[in-house]
Structure 1
Amino acid sequence: MTAAVPLTWLYVPGDRPEVVRKARDSGADVVIVDLEDAVAPDRKEYARSATAELLSEAAGDAAVPFNVRVHTEADVLALAGLPGLAGLRLPKITHAASVHHIAAVAPGVALCPLLESALGIEHAYSVAASHPQVRSIALGEADLRADLGVREDAGLDWSRSRVVVAARAAGLAPPTQSVFPDVRDLDGLWASCAHGRALGFLGRAAIHPRQLPVIERAYRPTPREIEAAAEIVAAAVTDEGALALPDGRFVDAAVVASARRTLALAGE
């Protein structure tokens, strides 16, 4: 069952429609059909036509929605308006003008620009605020790492924080983390998710179903966090300003708002 707030996004190659269909039973909140990096150049036209056929059959209000990471404008033209399309992920965006162009080609479709270069990061806010169809932004960390020449993972933290701030400033939901490339290292995935959560991300894209439960657990509030949030919300019965809880914790409007977000994420 998909979460009220999507936490897990599973990439699947668009040239394997049988895998795409199975992905809906993987436990992911959203399935991302990939027409870009996961598809070989000589398979891209087939991937586009197979995805168009799939989205023509799929119901737009399905429990697990389909997003598509497009490769070219031809992909956008082929898929825009199909009933099963919930959103488009736009790779290698560097300027707001590119988003405006895609929005004109695909009116009404939810867009997620992917920032994958130094120039994209520099324009993060203008891209995030570029058009009402932009519902989220995210990083493409593999390309960004190569563009910046970053070797250590921590070298991307400034860019990560920049995207989190840009999304908030533009009134968007918190961005989802980029994929963790080692599908066997679940401990590393857990630690990386914990770090991403601390930076302000919400949820993560995956490249294998075995990564989904780890991401789900990492981003769900813990029982102790839920209990603490419930105590804060229960104590804040009025809007009369700051107060102190019996255990000494200081509570003001910002703390109460954060507690309510925690309870909403927990489904309470």
Structure 2
Amino acid sequence: MTPLLTGLYVPGDRPDRFAKAFASGADLVVLDLEDAVAPDRKAAARETVVAALAEPHPGVVVQVRIDGPDDLHALAAVSTPFEVRVPKASAARLDAVAAALPGVPLTALLEDAAGVLDARSIAAQAAVTRVGLGEADLRSAVGSGAPVIEFARVGLVYAAAAAGLPAPMLSAWTRLDDEAGLEADTRAGAALGFVGRMAVHPRQLAVVERAFAPAQEAVALAHAVLAATAEGGVARLPDGRMVDPAMRREAERVVELDARTSAPRPPG
């Protein structure tokens, strides 16, 4: 499964924003029934989201971030493909969602200490196809210090790799007026092994893509590695470094990221 590079949250009770979200160029659109929707609007939001799922959205992965059992009951009637984003994921909660929505791919969001410490077993559950962090909740539950978040991030990267899942996406950056902070934090996450990031506004998507774009020196090296190892065995690059087929996977990842981040974005 190819990692997703850009994701966009949309409040489930704002159907006026759905079309723009699906046309934004984001790889993933999450229709949110959890924190983005006030309690007295949950029922109306469920109806709106179910109606939106009935429409085709080619080229976009569509997820629903659920809140409670009523959401599962409503989504059980949907026959078109979609995925579910499970906040405050635990083994028990994931089992309950999988039982209510058999065959629906689940993204497990780890948002508390128990989830972070259980990351490997959560990632290994059969219905889980992606994992992520809910960093705002995690900061509230555990602490906001950089080592706390980096510990959770590194653990999640290892858990995803051990389970054979795509590299996780970073949590949304909620400070809309701080694009420099978004880019710096995204680059820090990329250095830890994350691929992609959630956004809360379409204008953040270009910043995320820019942050994940590999340096041209890295792209040139990746192409050289692929050419040198095309027939297998150990080879020597013009600069003298030795390369072997084990290095091809990273080179392929760099070339793919370069292609994805250099593609033109939709206008607007």
TM-score for the superposition, normalised by structure 1: 0.91
Task: Tell me, in whole angstroms, the C-alpha distance in 2 between the residues paired with 1:259 and 1:72.
Answer: 42
5+ residue gaps in structure 1? none
**Alignment of 1:141 onto 2:135:** yes
Task: Tell me, in whole angstroms, the C-alpha distance in 2 between the residues paired with 1:89 and 1:220.
Answer: 26
Q: Counterparts in 2 of 1:106-145, with a 5 A limit?
A: 106-131=101-126, 133-145=127-139
Q: Is the 8 A contact 1:79 1:85 kept in 2?
A: no
Task: Tell me, in whole angstroms, the C-alpha distance in 2 between the residues paired with 1:116 and 1:190.
Answer: 23
User: Aligned residue for 1:43?
Assistant: 41
Give the C-alpha shift of residue 104 in structure 1: 1.5
**Alignment of 1:105 onto 2:100:** yes
5+ residue gaps in structure 2? 261-268
How far does the alpha carbon of each residue in 1:25-84 deviate from its partner, in whole angstroms, 9 at most, with x for none? 22211111110011111111111111111112x12x622232110001221221135244
Task: Tell me, in whole angstroms, the C-alpha distance in 1 between the residues paired with 2:80 and 2:22.
Answer: 13
| Matched letter for residue 172 of structure 1 | L
SS of residue paired to 1:263:
helix
Q: Is the 8 A contact 2:179 2:204 kept in 1?
A: yes
Which residue of the other structure, out of 71, 74, 93, is the alignment partner of 2:70?
74
User: Aligned residue for 2:21?
Assistant: 23
How far does the alpha carbon of each residue in 1:190-222 deviate from its partner, in whole angstroms, 9 at most, with x for none? 101100000000000000111000001111333
User: Aligned residue for 2:266?
Assistant: none
Q: Is the 8 A contact 1:9 1:31 kept in 2?
A: yes
User: Aligned residue for 1:234?
Assistant: 227
User: Aligned residue for 2:265?
Assistant: none
User: Aligned residue for 2:247?
Assistant: 255
User: Aligned residue for 2:214?
Assistant: 221
User: Aligned residue for 1:12?
Assistant: 10
Q: Counterparts in 2 of 1:130-209, with a 5 A limit?
A: 130-131=125-126, 133-150=127-144, 152-209=145-202
User: CA distance change for structure 1 residues 238 and 97 in 2, over 3 Å: closer, same or farther?
Assistant: same
Give the C-alpha shift of residue 148 in structure 1: 0.7
| Matched letter for residue 257 of structure 1 | R
| Matched letter for residue 51 of structure 2 | E
| Matched letter for residue 86 of structure 2 | L
User: CA distance change for structure 1 residues 62 and 185 in 2, over 3 Å: closer, same or farther?
Assistant: same
| Matched letter for residue 58 of structure 2 | A
Give the C-alpha shift of residue 136 in structure 1: 0.6
SS of residue paired to 2:129:
coil
Task: Tell me, in whole angstroms, the C-alpha distance in 1 between the residues paired with 2:76 and 2:236.
Answer: 52
Q: CA RMSD in A?
A: 1.7
How many residue pairs are counted as aligned between the two chains? 259
User: Aligned residue for 2:89?
Assistant: 93
**Percentage identity across paired residues of the two chains:** 44
Q: Is the 8 A contact 1:125 1:167 kept in 2?
A: yes
SS of residue paired to 1:33:
strand
| Matched letter for residue 37 of structure 1 | D
Q: Is the 8 A contact 2:157 2:167 kept in 1?
A: yes
SS of residue paired to 1:196:
helix
User: CA distance change for structure 1 residues 68 and 265 in 2, over 3 Å: closer, same or farther?
Assistant: same
Q: Is the 8 A contact 1:80 1:109 kept in 2?
A: no
| Matched letter for residue 47 of structure 2 | S
Give the C-alpha shift of residue 5 in structure 1: 4.7
**Alignment of 1:246 onto 2:259:** no
